[in-house]
Amino acid sequence: MKKWMLVLILLSLSSSAWGITGLGIGIKGGMIQNYSYDKLDLIPTLNHDWLKQMPTIGVFLKIGTLRIIHLEASVEYAWKKKEIVLKVPGEERSIKADFSINDLSLNGTAKYIFSFPVLKPYLGLGAGIHRLVYGLSSGANTGFMPDDQNRIGIHGVAGIVLSFPVLPLEFLAEARYTNIQTTGKSTHYTTILGGVTYNLP
């Protein structure tokens, strides 16, 4: 009998702790706007307009430890490819090649939630580690090619959560400004995101 009582107490405590943590998992996606990195300007025929928009997707874990402060850990991936024309060194001809940029990031964000019944605005700050990879399909010499790099980035976010008490799902819309400490000038851009969170029971 004592063993059963102990099991029931442990289950009760664990369920209470689970409820306090407010765990949720989710997905998000959107568009990076106006990605800016000065080293890319040195690549011939690569104009400024090609990075006005870049798709991004991600998954995240929400930890609602406190009522108005939520912590979020996320993994996100952004990518873009552009066909460019390169002059072959020592020859009169030119060739076409695909230049690509990929940004894989691990991020942590603290969000201050304004507590309203259904629509909940929030503001937040965070940091991440960005793996920036640049590629050229032809292997030809551009005259300059940025080195792949791992860099720290910081970001600020503002958004709104749509939450219904009877549903385990939450919907979010978010704007985020990111600054990555790349070599030379920093890389900066704005991201517009939408997503959904499944709150675990």
Q: Is the CA virtual torsion 28, 32, 33, 36 positive or negative?
A: positive
The helix/strand/coil state of 106 is: strand
The helix/strand/coil state of 45 is: coil
Asked if residue 169 lies in contact with residue 197, where contact means CB atoms within 8 angstroms, the answer is: yes
Write the pLDDT tens digit of every residue in 30-41: 999 999 888 887
* pTM (two decimals): 0.81
Cβ-based burial of 132 (10 A; exposed 0-12, middle 13-18, buried ≥19) = buried
* Residue 15: pLDDT over 80: no
pLDDT class of 9 with cuts at 50, 70, 90: very low
If one counts every other C-beta atom within 10 angstroms of the C-beta of residue 103, the result is 24
Give me the pLDDT at residue 84, please.
79
Written as one string, the DSSP assignment of 154-201 is: EEEEEEEEEE-TT-SEEEEEEEEEEEE--SSSPEEEEEEEEEEEEE--
C-alpha 39/C-alpha 97 separation (Å) is 18
Write the pLDDT tens digit of every residue in 102-128: 999 999 999 999 988 889 999 999 999
C-alpha 4/C-alpha 12 separation (Å) is 12
% pLDDT > 90, the chain: 51
Give me the pLDDT at residue 40, please.
80
C-alpha 37/C-alpha 132 separation (Å) is 11
Q: Phi, psi at residue 13, to the nearest 5°? A: -65, -40
User: Which domains does the chain carry?
Assistant: 21-199 (2.40.160.20)
% pLDDT > 70, the chain: 81
C-alpha 24/C-alpha 62 separation (Å) is 5
More confident residue, 195 or 164: 195
